[in-house]
Amino acid sequence: KSKGKGRWVVWWGPGICLAIAMWIVGVGIAGSQEPSPSTPRQVVEQWFEVYPGNMELAAELTTTAFREGVSKEAWIATRGPYLQDLQLKYVRAKIAHEKTVGEEAHVIVHAHIVTMMGDQPQDELYVLLKNPEGRWAIDQVEVYTDTFNTGP
């Protein structure tokens, strides 16, 4: 009886090792892929992580309307150099409010940016739309500064 039991352990040992190895490899592959944001808040948070430093990833988070009707490649080619020249950087970005109604979401952000022209606190309204695949994308951004609507 112990011989049979021993053989079972011999077969079971390599089998479980193979299963564990496959699981580790599978988890590694799944963990290395960038998960697509699933909520409007996550899209905006990812936007601040990648924009303007990684325009390719930023383009993936936007609609064609946001890119003014141009392809992602054309938008990257024109907008990227402009932002690089402007030296735009977000110093701070904090989500203040979010609201989703159906296929449209609004996310308000208190931000502080720095450019070659100086630094500026501003509020930003992100309007996101859910595409047919169910992913949220930035459709427009409205920027409001302290000097907005103030006279000379």
147 confidence band (pLDDT: 50, 70, 90): low
Confidence check: pLDDT of 143 > 80? yes
Kindly report, residue by residue over 66-117, the tens digit of the pLDDT: 999 999 999 999 999 999 899 999 999 999 999 999 999 999 999 999 999 9
pLDDT computed for residue 31 by the predictor: 41
Kindly report, residue by residue over 13-31, the tens digit of the pLDDT: 444 434 444 444 443 334 4
CA distance 108 to 125: 5
pLDDT computed for residue 145 by the predictor: 87
CB within 8 Å of 145: residues ≥ 6 apart: 120, 121, 122, 123
CA distance 149 to 152: 10
Entry field: residues in the chain:
152
pLDDT computed for residue 37 by the predictor: 63
150 or 76, greater pLDDT: 76
Kindly report, residue by residue over 123-140, the tens digit of the pLDDT: 999 999 999 999 999 999
36 confidence band (pLDDT: 50, 70, 90): low
Give the residue-averaged pLDDT of 46-62.
Answer: 95
